[in-house]
Amino acid sequence: MKRIRKYIQSDIDLNSTNRKFYLVAFSVFIAFVFLNFFEPFGLYYEKSSTKEDVFIELFIAMTLAFVVLLLSQFVIRVLFNINRFTVVSLFFWFLLEAVFVASVWFVFEVLDKDFTGNLITVWFDNLLAYVLIMLPPYFLYVSYIHIKDIIKNLENENSTHKSVEKILPDITLKDENEIVKLVLKTENLLFIQSADNYVEVNFLENGVLSKSLLRNSIKKLEPTFRNTPIIRCHRSFIVNTNNIELAKKTSSGYNLKLNQVSELTIPISKSYISEFNKFTTKP
């Protein structure tokens, strides 16, 4: 149910001129072809009507629908400043368009023929026919552009993520005498642990977990990681938030498991939770 609710509440981008025109043109064209090739609703059952007569009637009916839909998309939406649709609101807009088209068809039918039937029944038949004929191609096109937009957004997110990764600087680690001891790619640093007068740097080297001791302190190293996803999470630990596999809440904060060292638990103390949340609650 949550997935269904999320889908019907998702936005549909139908604001560009091309998309609005293609929605109308595609729906009308597919409906016209369907009616002529598959002959639904007994279109050719009346002996007095030839295929040519039916073709002309369908052409006029679809032309009228085309004009009404163009007015709906390019005039009525502008007048009422309707720029945003969800799946469910677009469905109701489709029904409103169906009422307009059915009314135009009804007027044309009454004026074109010697009409003797029930007016309400004829109008309702036109409404039902429009919904049955136009709904599949209408929402087929809507589904196409929605899926297209989802794929494009995912590609943009991946591209942005890759761009961020590319501009992340290498990590340069120095000892207490400011001598460079280790240079790592940001993504390869896993965590740093305090060890008396040293720190133990845990990192990946050719995909293999490696360790290196540095004579320095966690506190002095902390400024090295500004503007990176690497943060201090405990008085004895610095961790790369990009490598977190699991964060389990505890009474004193969190316990972390990393992708490459799942046997180790890294604590997050309460004083560092707010900083940790900045990296784990990003949209």
Share of the chain above pLDDT 70, in %: 88
Burial 44-70 (b: 16+ CB within 10 A, else e): eeeeeeeeeebeebeeebbebbbebbe
Average pLDDT over residues 35-52: 65
Given a contact cutoff of 8 angstroms between Cβ atoms, the answer to whether 230 and 202 are in contact is: no
Give me the CATH code for the 171-280 domain, please.
Answer: 2.40.50.1020
Which tens digit of pLDDT belongs to each residue from 174-208?
999 999 999 998 889 999 999 989 999 999 998 88
User: Which residue shows structure tokens 């096109």?
Assistant: 141
Residue-level pLDDT at 201: 95
Residue-level pLDDT at 30: 95
Average pLDDT over residues 14-29: 95
Give yes or no for residue 131 having a pLDDT over 50.
yes
Beta-strand pair 266-269/189-195: unpaired
Given a contact cutoff of 8 angstroms between Cβ atoms, the answer to whether 199 and 214 are in contact is: yes
Distance in angstroms (rounded) separating the CA atoms of residues 116 and 118: 7
Cα 97 to chain centroid distance, Å, stands at 27
Distance in angstroms (rounded) separating the CA atoms of residues 185 and 172: 9
Residue-level pLDDT at 196: 86
DSSP-assigned states of every residue in 162-174: HHHHHHSPPEEEE
Residue-level pLDDT at 20: 95
Distance in angstroms (rounded) separating the CA atoms of residues 249 and 280: 13
Which tens digit of pLDDT belongs to each residue from 57-86?
889 999 999 999 999 999 999 999 998 899
Backbone angles phi, psi at 85, to 5 degrees: -130, 140
pTM for this model (two decimals): 0.57
Residue among 230, 235, 261 nearest 246 (CA)? 261
Distance in angstroms (rounded) separating the CA atoms of residues 214 and 114: 98
Structural domain spans, the chain:
2-164, 171-280
Which residues are registered as beta bridge partners of 239?
Answer: 191, 231
